[in-house]
A and B are shown apart, each in its own frame.
Chain A
Amino acid sequence: MKRKFNIWEGNFIYTLLAIVIGFVVGAILLSVAGIDPSVAYGSLYEGIFGDKKYIVYSMVYAAPYILTGLSVAFSFKTGVFNIGAEGQFVVGSLAAVLVGLFVDLPPVIHPIVCMLAAAVAGAIWGGVVGLMKIKRGINEVLSYIMFNWIAYYLSNYIVISKSVKDESVEATRLVKDSARTLMSDKMVIATGCPTVNWGFVIATVCAIALWFIITKTTLGYQLRAVGLSKTASEYGGISSSKIFMSSMAISGMLAGLGGAVHTLGMTGRISQFAGQESFGFDGITVALIAGSNPIGCIFSGLFYGAMKYGGNKLTLVNAPKEVVNIIMGTIIFFIAIALLFKRIMVSVSEKKNSDVKSAKED
């Protein structure tokens, strides 16, 4: 049964529309603030595409967002809302930094061990929430949010402890060079970006692996089944508790890995937080723009990373960089509305056809 492709049925066009509206709303606000939107957007564009170096920077920025986006998208597939990616990201960073500081290992092996530690830490952080959900029926959204704060203060506590803290700044010491995921000097010279690292590659590999798990494996089959209908899954003999546990642990693992990619690649250390850094929360945005599609997360993560990076340049034209946040917020808002809009468009453009079909086939 090949059906005619209906553009209103896919998500792409709505996402595109939401992005356009996001920029329009941003432009209006810029005008209200007395800034010429064309100048601001011009500098945003320049800041992202103006130089090869900027593009590479955007990719570097994007890597952690892709991973937290994947984390949230994966949880959505099982019908869980991982608002705890923030905390999982933090414990992941912490685990990576600690292993990077205190363990001596040769290069290549060292960052892999750091990342494994981060993945395990994130998986535990998410898994405990899952355990509380299935054993005690505690709503995961509440515990996720509390776990975010626990991670936040735990990190701040460790960062300023004597053995970890750097003497001159409010942050940990830099991890050992052997633990960094930076690319070779040759690449640094070629790209002009001193923090060019393997993060984006790792994130892309994770996205593809996740896509494979979700669409091709029995685990993915069970995850989606539980997400779509818990009752039918249980009737079919799938244990929803087990599935919730694995989904929440894997989701936490991805966010934790995001933390490792960020610290080992970009910063090399964790600073003391003054407020939540929001990598995890921004993962929600990335997942929503991607429509929870793992491959889509690569592109929405890139978009998000580029906007974050390019947004920094807005200050050069005296525009507040928060404009970027407003644009992203507006996009999410319209993507949410788009679901409603889509229902209307599909029913309008397909009504006649589908009536014909379903009636004929009865």
Chain B
Amino acid sequence: MLCRKETTVGNASNVDMNEVAIQMKNIVKKFGNFVANDHINLTIHKGEVHAILGENGAGKSTLMNVLYGIYQPTSGSIEIDGKEVVIEGPEKAIELGIGMVHQHFMLVQPFTVTENIILGDEPRKGLVVDKESAKKKIMELSEKYGLMVDPDAKIEDISVGMQQRVEILKVLYRGAKHLILDEPTSSLTPQEISELMEIIKNLTNDGKSVILITHKLKEITEAADFCTIIRQGKYIDTVKVDEVDENALASMMVGRNVEFKVEKKDIKPGKVALDVKNLHAKDYRGVEILNGLNLQVREGEIVGLAGVDGNGQSELVEILTGLMKAESGEITIEGVDIFNKSPKEIFDTGVSSIPEDRQKHGLVMDYTVSENLILQNFGTEKFSKHGILKKSAMKKFADEMIEKFDIRPRGCETRLAKQLSGGNQQKVIIAREVTNDKELLIAMNPTRGLDVGAIEFVHKYLVEQRNKGRAVLLVSFELDEIMSLSDQIQVIFEGQITGSVKGSEADENELGFLMAGGKKDEA
């Protein structure tokens, strides 16, 4: 992250080891025969940032839902501020000073910031809502913790980062002393993440404790004092973050060693596969979003497109895959024109892609895994004859893919895509697109929301395509991902490529500078 130096909360510890804020003892939560939480212990001190680390489905959310009163534990006890309590529901949790900020924001879009914060707890003056005094209280909180918001702006008009600050204010407004943040950085830009880290520091300075649910190791080493690791519902360990490194955390989380460094063999890039020249495009509002963009990706090369969200990345990918039309410019694949062609024509020419939004574009969520695996290829001889689908070929192909790409659960080819976990949904898409094996593979934020094990998997296949001599365009908001995978990094800013760095020579600060609109020679 860009913010490493400023935000080492872990070192500037506010932890008061003498005062226990939350203690969960031997928490067991069973669903039927399945044990989601198996004797988990958690101790949180006043002023502490405590990370809870675990893979998707490890039982982190279950544990937090127990603490927030959404689930009742099968056995075990909870003490808040030294008193044993039974938390019957979220109302009781709020009363006890526990506040939860969910991963997916729960805000009323057309309402203002103030209206959202006071919703359900409105101060009154006679019969009317006293917005002025509410606004005053919000501004006080906002200043105290560095949670900058515009109290009169509507939610639909503000950035994701500010929406999150509104969620945190909502919780503080209700007097929370202990905050649970569920995957708080999953949709934030690097800048917004560093702001959030600052806010967390301010909160603990004030004696509040923060529980951080995450599977991003870097955030833990940067922000947390302690980390509790959960694997398959079982308590593994609680460690002092200062005393471990990321590798140790990762292997505790997945139960085996994880490769962070992606093995990339040296290959010489071949001829230009994707060539974009002077591309201009307008977004849906008619605002110029791509402004004379030039980009080349060669065979056997991963080009990473780095940039802050909203600088034209999504539009570029949509144009390259045929979902959106550009105003002017040239786009060729191996010399063949694909400018403003249909998705089908572009696919047939040689472009496959891992879309940004897997639920909207990547998968038909109500289709089975096996149906999803043939989304572009149902019409080929392999899967149909005279317009009739070959069910047995589909099943055979699905079985092969499930085996080869480790899509879980095994034998899920008749399951609907929506019944799989996020990581496995992504594996279905990877399986399909890698097997399509086109000249160019475009991947946009391919690891968003995935845990370490799944990320490793996705990276492995991107590199494999490169090693096979295919061109790969990686668009990502995760700078780490760009830096570890790319042979060449291109920085996009306001619809243009503003800088180009060799992958092996990339430096976070320099990229951050370029991403913020700096020019290379000024750096």
Contacts and interface: CB of A to CB of B under 8 A. Distances in A.
A323 B344 CA distance: 53
Contacts of A234: 323, 343
B355 interface: yes
Interface string B353-379: 001000011111111000100011011
B321 A235 contact: yes
Contact of A1 (B36, B58, B412): B412
Contacts of B371: 221, 225
B408 to A, nearest CB: 5
B368 to A, nearest CB: 11
Interface string A236-248: 1111000000000
Contacts of B389: 216-218, 221
B55 interface: yes
Interface string B336-351: 0000001110010000
A2 B449 CA distance: 29
A232 B364 contact: yes
B344 A1 contact: no
Interface string B50-86: 0000011111001000000000000000000000000
B342 A228 contact: no
A23 to B, nearest CB: 33
A191 to B, nearest CB: 37
A149 to B, nearest CB: 35
A282 B414 CA distance: 34
Contacts of A32: none
A143 interface: no
B378 A222 contact: yes
Interface residues of B, number: 48
Given A228-B365, A353-B32, A356-B34, A1 B321 contact: no
Contact of A235 (B31, B343, B366): B343
B33 interface: yes
A348 B355 CA distance: 35
Nearest to B419: A358
B237 to A, nearest CB: 21
B238 interface: no
- Of A1, A239, A359, most buried by chain B (CB within 10 Å of CB) is A359
A71 B58 CA distance: 47
A219 interface: yes
A361 B343 contact: no
B361 A218 contact: no
Contact of B34 (A229, A237, A355): A355
A216 B32 contact: no
B387 A218 contact: yes
Interface in B403-436: 408-409, 411-412, 414-415, 419-421, 423-424
A281 to B, nearest CB: 28
A1 B375 contact: no
Nearest to B374: A221
Nearest to A355: B31
B296 interface: no
A339 to B, nearest CB: 15
A236 B374 CA distance: 9
B384 interface: yes
- Of A1, A233, A361, most buried by chain B (CB within 10 Å of CB) is A361
A290 to B, nearest CB: 19
A161 interface: no
A225 B377 CA distance: 13
B56 A362 contact: yes
A232 B421 CA distance: 18
B34 A231 contact: no
A216 B57 contact: no
Contact of B32 (A218, A233, A356): A356
A216 B389 CA distance: 6
A237 B322 CA distance: 9
B57 A219 contact: no
A231 B342 contact: no
Nearest to A212: B388
A234 B32 CA distance: 41
- Of A225, A232, A352, most buried by chain B (CB within 10 Å of CB) is A232
Interface string B17-36: 00000000000000111101
A136 interface: no
Contacts of A236: 343, 375-376
B32 A355 contact: yes
B314 to A, nearest CB: 13
Given A217-B387, A235-B355, A358 B361 contact: no
Interface in A193-242: 216-219, 221-222, 224-225, 228-229, 231-239
Given A229-B366, A235-B361, A358-B421, A216 B388 contact: yes
B388 A218 contact: yes
Nearest to B353: A235
A135 interface: no
B55 A239 contact: no
Nearest to B410: A1
A356 B33 contact: yes
B365 A229 contact: yes
Nearest to B416: A228
Interface in A338-362: 351-353, 355-362
Contacts of A221: 371, 378, 389
Given A229-B364, A355-B31, A362-B57, A237 B342 contact: yes
Contacts of A239: 342, 344
B365 A362 contact: no
A228 B364 contact: yes
Contacts of A238: 344
Which 4 pairs from chain A and chain B are nearest by CB? A362-B57, A356-B34, A237-B344, A236-B375
17 contacts: A216-B388, A218-B389, A225-B367, A232-B363, A232-B364, A232-B365, A233-B364, A235-B343, A235-B355, A236-B375, A351-B31, A352-B32, A356-B31, A356-B32, A356-B34, A359-B57, A360-B34
